[in-house]
Structure 1
Amino acid sequence: MDAFTAGLLQRIETTESDLTHARETGDDFLVEVEQAELDDLHRLAAEHGVEIGALSS
């Protein structure tokens, strides 16, 4: 796995964790921010053919 793929997968994993935390704490603004970030990361992964598999929520 190259550095780009590894970094992207790590960012997705971190963002998913941050999104879960925001939902658990009821921070609606942060939920929106983290969801937008996650959507962008998924788009980026798709554009570069990166399989996110089990990481996807």
Structure 2
Amino acid sequence: MDAFTAGLLQRIKTTQSDLTHARETGDDFLADLEQGELDDLHRLAAEHGVEINATAV
């Protein structure tokens, strides 16, 4: 796995965790921000052929 892929997968994992935390604490604004970031990261992964599966995130 190259550095780009590893970094992208780590950012997705971190953002997903942050999104879960924001939802659990009821911070709707932060949840919206994290969801937008996660959507962007998934789009970036798709554009570069990086496969994301449930076990990776």
Does TM, scored on the shorter chain, surpass 0.5? yes
TM-score by length of 2: 0.95
Amino acid corresponding to residue 30 of structure 1 in structure 2: L
TM-score by length of 1: 0.95
Name structure 2 gaps, 5 residues minimum. Answer: none
Name structure 1 gaps, 5 residues minimum. Answer: none
Which has a greater percent of helix?
Answer: 1
SS in structure 2 opposite 1:53? coil
Alignment of 1:1-57 (within 5 A): 1-54=1-54, 55=57
Aligned equivalents of 1:52, 1:19: Cα separation in 2: 17
Aligned equivalents of 1:49, 1:30: Cα separation in 2: 28
- The 4+ residue runs of structure 1 with deviation greater than 2 A are none
Query: Percent identity of the aligned residues?
Result: 85
TM-superposed CA distance for 1:34, in Å, is 0.1
Number of equivalent positions: 55
